[in-house]
């Protein structure tokens, strides 16, 4: 049976799942016989997700999804849940936005 994706761990933490093997020590992943792996690409052809689909092409699970930029509202929700909105809020938001521009 051929692997459908490859996983990279750091200790017990999964740090990456990709459709192709990147490093020699990546672990192969296999699916059940009635499931297949599909890649989802953006308009530029960049892989943005790796999913498991059934025979009817319904997505059953998302194995990997590329990171996306958080909106100001999502950042605000996180800060209201996990901390105080103070001088660090604007600083953290600026860093995240700047990093996503690159």
Domain map (residue ranges) of the chain: 5-65, 72-101
Nearest Cα neighbor of 29 from 67, 65, 63 is: 63
Task: List per-block mean pLDDT (blocks of 10 residues) for the chain, which spans 102 residues.
Answer: 84 85 89 75 84 83 80 74 65 71 56
Q: 67 burial class (0-12, 13-18, 19+ CB within 10 angstroms)?
A: exposed
Q: What is the per-residue pLDDT for 98?
A: 67
Q: What is the per-residue pLDDT for 87?
A: 64
Count of other CB atoms within 10 angstroms of residue 63: 20
Q: What is the per-residue pLDDT for 84?
A: 62
Bridge partners (DSSP) listed for residue 42: none
**Per-residue CA distances from 49 to 9, 15, 71, 84, 89 (Å):** 18, 15, 20, 33, 30
Q: What is the per-residue pLDDT for 22?
A: 92
Q: What is the per-residue pLDDT for 33?
A: 67
pTM value surpassing 0.85: no
């Amino acid at each position: 049976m051929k692997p459908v994706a490859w996983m990279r761990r750091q200790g017990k933490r999964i740090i990456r799942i990709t459709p192709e093997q990147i490093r020699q020590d990546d672990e192969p992943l296999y699916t059940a016989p009635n499931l297949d792996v599909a890649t989802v690409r953006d308009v530029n052809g960049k892989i943005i997700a790796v999913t498991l689909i059934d025979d009817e092409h319904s997505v059953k699970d998302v194995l990997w999804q590329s990171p996306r930029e958080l909106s100001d509202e999502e950042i605000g929700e996180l800060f209201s849940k996990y901390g105080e909105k103070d001088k660090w809020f604007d600083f953290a938001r600026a860093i995240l936005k700047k990093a996503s521009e690159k």
